Amino acid sequence: MKKIAILLSMVISLGMFAKSADAQVNVSINIGSQPMWGPVGYDYASYYYFPDIDAYYSISKRQFIYLNGNHWVWGSSLPGRYKYDLDRGYKVVINDPDPWTRAPYYRQQYGRYKGWYGKQTIIRNSNDPKYYQWNGRGPKGNNGHDNGNGHGRGNDNNQGHGNGHGHGHDRR
């Protein structure tokens, strides 16, 4: 009877330890939710701020937030008047809620990045393995996606005739 009580207390202790350890490991990652034109290096991002046009992008809602007169407006795309290149324009990652409500702060803090076109690697162009699943890039043997001419080395024991689907120019 004493052995059963000790065993039962050990099981309960292990269960409580496992539960507390589980509660401590809570990491948010939204790499796959970020647009292909988003900057690399961030496992999580709530918003992007575009210093060149003083606008924001909500990653979770996939909506742009921009000024129309004196009011912040949400839209699935930027109005044509912006003529903004999302691939080349500089993006600042912001993880504060509703950053447009503190627009003067962000203008002052990140205004120095105006005009930094093309100075930021975007997810689409990244060679970082953590983005391969989303940007189709990666080393040879990555399911035949070698960004080349369709002669990837996927599923063919590296014989050069895999089921590859090239995406653009071969950069070897």
Specify the pTM.
Answer: 0.61
CA 96 to CA 71: how far, in whole Å? 20
With tokens 């330890």, the residue in question is 17
Give the per-residue SS3 of 122-166.
EHHHCCCHHHHHHHCCCCCCCCCCCCCCCCCCCCCCCCCCCCCCC
> For 145, how many CA atoms within 13 A lie in the half-sphere containing its CB?
12
Which tens digits make up the pLDDT trace of 76-127? 999 999 999 999 999 999 999 999 999 999 999 999 999 998 889 888 888 8
With tokens 């292909």, the residue in question is 36
Residue 79 CB: number of other CB atoms within 10 A? Answer: 13
